[in-house]
Chain A
Amino acid sequence: MASPTPLSTDEVRRVARLARLDPGAADVERYCAQLATIIEYVAQISELDVQGVEPLTHPGLPADHANRLDHDDPQPALPLQALAKNAPAMEGPFLAVPKVIGGGGAEGA
């Protein structure tokens, strides 16, 4: 099992990047200490013998375990207008984002 502590600033930055977060330097320091404490605590599950135990990812009842199939009859979707009200930036009927293809990037927001 991977050693839980200590967590380096590089490691915290790597995890933040994976999570699409951009913490400042002071936040990184704080997360190093806090995450190390939490990870050290949760690592106690390594004490238990789980050899051959099937992971439980969903606590549904046996009767509900099988995938539920539904008829393929389309229902009305929410109108674009209703959804667009919450969008931070639109261009016509489209969500506006910085340019993705071709590098550089266009206007942010």
Chain B
Amino acid sequence: MAWTSSGIESVQVIAEAVRRKRATATEVVAATLERIRAGNGPLNAVRETCDADAIAAASRLDDRIAAGEDVGPLAGVPIAVKDNIAAESGHTCCGSRMLEKYRSPFTATAVQRLTNAGAIIIAKANCDEFAMGSSTEHCAFGAVRNPHDHQRVPGGSSGGSAAAVAGGLCPAALGSDTGGSVRQPASFCGVVGVKPSYGRVSRYGLVAFGSSLDQVGPLARNVTDAALLLHTMAGVDRRDATSSAESVPDYLAEINTPIEDLRLGVPREYLSEGNDPAINEAIAAAIDTFRSLGTTIVDIDLTLTRYGIATYYLIAAAEASSNLARFDGVRYGRRAALDPGASLEALYARSRSEGLGPEVQRRIMLGTYALSAGYYDAYYKRASQVRRLIKDEFDRAFTKCHALIGPVSPTPAFEIGSRSEPLAMYLADAYTVNANLAGICGISINCGYAQAGASRLPIGLQIQCQALDEMTMFRIARMFEKQSA
């Protein structure tokens, strides 16, 4: 069958083939399940495939297509969904023992909008527990490995989603980005990953980690696929009062518009000498590419960049400590087996300590500490004030340029087990957390490779634009992709 022999196809190629009856959704689903069976073993990108539901959904689509119906722009496109995004297909475990057996009784809006457009949920992708991590090593169902080098991490926390796309298991996936969790694994795995502006995509059904930071975003093999997925998912949702009421532009209509009228800002702080030299070389080459595309390059100062990690970890941990209070062993999730006569307090504490992994417990404690009496002003409140300063600095930068370009991460993919100290892991997010704090959008697109022994490790270029200006972000990314092809 064409779908197994000629390599994985893009979202648009698959949808076009299914819509024009050159392939059936059933064939695409069967071939994709076979790919996952054959390729997932060494990667552990996928926790479970949703065989029965996917086959049934494909069959229904094929019937509708045979009846002459337009089933939508994502006809028959198999999508892997990160394990912290609710779907009635399969389990929604959030990479945690706490939710090992949890089946969501509802489907997230982002997922529902994709399936309404013809997409098919093919699998649930592994992630760091409750999306807390930058390597997908902190997953109760085993570490995920980078398809470019199995001894290295895929990044995180959407590492399973990125590895599934990069490893050719499926054409696209959903992730979530609270501090870089879509962009950084996209960078490490050499795929396209989008962190939409805060409010662009409904958070309904995304298991909450940091509610003022979280966004669902697509990972795909090219910019146009990512734009099509975001266009399908985005827009106001009655079930998420923080979803933006602003209309969603037709990204695909303008994505190929030349960018010579644009000014691109390069934050000096992003080209730190602390970066891996290969990163700085690749970004310098990308800047040359943009010059050749006719854009104006301007230097920008983002002097607060270095306070991003501290600010982010205080705010994210504080929000997490509140959000994860819901896991108490009463309504869903793991319940500790206790002796008769044990108190409700003991039930809460034992269930949480047994069900939640060490990194999650650490962040809950950090957040609880930052919110507790005597520390609130020094930590949480001050972090929220610095957050405004960071947002104001971005606002000023965007009066001088249309977009900011730089690396996604200071390093390419690191070795599994090499960042056992929590703080060393947090620093992997130095260039990504500020977009979440400010609510702006960002994309990661491959811009080169670093040689490490026999491995070629992908390097991601990050393009950040003002809140809700995904259109400009996609245009810049698309022109870069075209030029580098």
Q: Which of A1-59 contact B (CB under 8 A)?
A: 1-2, 12, 15-23, 27, 31, 34-35, 37-39, 41-46, 48, 50, 53-59
* One of B101, B212, B343, B369 near A35 (C-beta < 8 A): B369
Q: Which of A87-109 contact B (CB under 8 A)?
A: 87-89, 95, 97-100, 104-109
Total number of residue pairs linking A and B with CB closer than 8 Å: 202
Determine whether B391 belongs to the interface, using a CB cutoff of 8 Å to chain A.
yes
Say yes or no: A56 contacts B391, CB within 8 Å.
Answer: yes
Which of the four size classes fits the interface of chain B? Answer: 35 or more
Say yes or no: B199 contacts A60, CB within 8 Å.
Answer: yes
Say yes or no: B343 contacts A88, CB within 8 Å.
Answer: no
Give Cα A82–Cα B348 distance, bound, in whole angstroms.
23
Say yes or no: A21 contacts B244, CB within 8 Å.
Answer: no
Say yes or no: B365 contacts A109, CB within 8 Å.
Answer: no
Say yes or no: A39 contacts B340, CB within 8 Å.
Answer: no
Q: Which of B352-369 contact A (CB under 8 A)?
A: 352-353, 356, 358, 361-362, 364-366, 368-369
Determine whether A64 belongs to the interface, using a CB cutoff of 8 Å to chain B.
yes
Say yes or no: B423 contacts A37, CB within 8 Å.
Answer: yes
Say yes or no: B245 contacts A64, CB within 8 Å.
Answer: yes
Chain B residue nearest to A82 in the complex (CB): B105
Say yes or no: B439 contacts A60, CB within 8 Å.
Answer: yes
Chain A residue nearest to B101 in the complex (CB): A86
Q: Please, which residues of chain B bring their CB within 8 A of the CB of A38?
A: 313, 362, 366, 422-423, 426
Q: Please, which residues of chain A bring their CB within 8 A of the CB of B366?
A: 35, 38-39
Q: Lowest 3 A-B CB distances belong to which pairs?
A: A59-B439, A108-B338, A55-B384
Known: A46-B378, A98-B342. 7 other contacts (CB 8 A): A19-B352, A21-B361, A42-B310, A45-B307, A60-B242, A97-B344, A109-B337
A to B CB contacts below 8 Å, 25 in the list: A2-B378, A15-B368, A18-B372, A22-B346, A23-B361, A27-B361, A35-B365, A35-B369, A41-B309, A43-B378, A45-B382, A48-B386, A55-B385, A57-B384, A59-B437, A59-B438, A68-B241, A87-B331, A88-B329, A105-B341, A106-B340, A106-B341, A108-B336, A108-B342, A109-B336
